[in-house]
Amino acid sequence: MLRDGERTAGTITLTPEAEEGLWSAEELGDCSMFVNKLTVAREYAGRELGSRLLDWAGDRAYRAGAKWLRLDAWTTNERLQRYYLDEGFQHVRTVLEGNAVNGGPRVSGWLAQRPTRPAEHGLTDETPTPEPLRT
């Protein structure tokens, strides 16, 4: 969570667990971490906070030993997909089938990744040092 005093300016979730059915067994064999729920409050838009949060996530993933920072986005949200491409992610593929909830088309299946790397994100990290990932 990115705080500005008592206000939440942004948030991101970083996890070693992939959403089921999106990534292939071969891809899951690579040590990776996954971004979920990147959000920046509207009043903080345009301040590069999303970019800094993604850099923080890539740095954390790197320090945990991950090779890839991966994410999925809505298949219909081309603006968000362009944002991630502009942030250095490369589109892997789009998964349209396999929604486990109702058997219909998957909504969030646009997959992208970028290599992890150390980053100067300028954020104060108060979370515990990441545990090394098991390969």
Q: What are phi and psi of 11, to 5 degrees?
A: -150, 155
Tell me, yes or no, whether 101 lies in a domain: yes
More confident residue, 128 or 14: 14
Tell me, yes or no, whether 76 lies in a domain: yes
Q: Are 24 and 94 in contact (CB under 8 A)?
A: no
Tens digit of pLDDT for each residue in 54-109?
999 999 999 999 999 999 999 999 999 999 999 999 999 998 876 545 455 567 89
Tell me, yes or no, whether 129 lies in a domain: no
Tell me, yes or no, whether 127 lies in a domain: no
Tell me, yes or no, whether 16 lies in a domain: yes
Tell me, yes or no, whether 99 lies in a domain: yes
Tell me, yes or no, whether 18 lies in a domain: yes
How far is Cα 112 from Cα 70, in angstroms, rounded to an integer? 6
Which residues are CB-neighbours of 111 under 8 A, at least 6 positions away? Answer: 22, 23, 70, 71, 72, 91, 92, 93, 94, 95
Predicted TM-score of the model (pTM): 0.87
Number of domains in the chain: 1
Which residues are CB-neighbours of 86 under 8 A, at least 6 positions away? Answer: none
Return the CATH number at 89: 3.40.630.30
Report the pLDDT averaged over residues 120-132: 76
Tell me, yes or no, whether 40 lies in a domain: yes
Tens digit of pLDDT for each residue in 28-60?
999 999 999 899 989 988 888 999 999 999 999
How far is Cα 125 from Cα 6, in angstroms, rounded to an integer? 16
How far is Cα 135 from Cα 92, in angstroms, rounded to an integer? 21
Residues in the chain: 135
Give pLDDT, residue 116: 98
Q: Of 32, 78, 35, 30, which is closest to residue 53 (Cα–Cα)?
A: 35
Give pLDDT, residue 89: 98
Residue-range definition of the domain harbouring residue 42: 2-115
Instruction: Assign 3-class secondary structure to 82-118.
Output: HHHHHCCCEEEEECCCCCCCCCCCCCEEEEEEEECCC
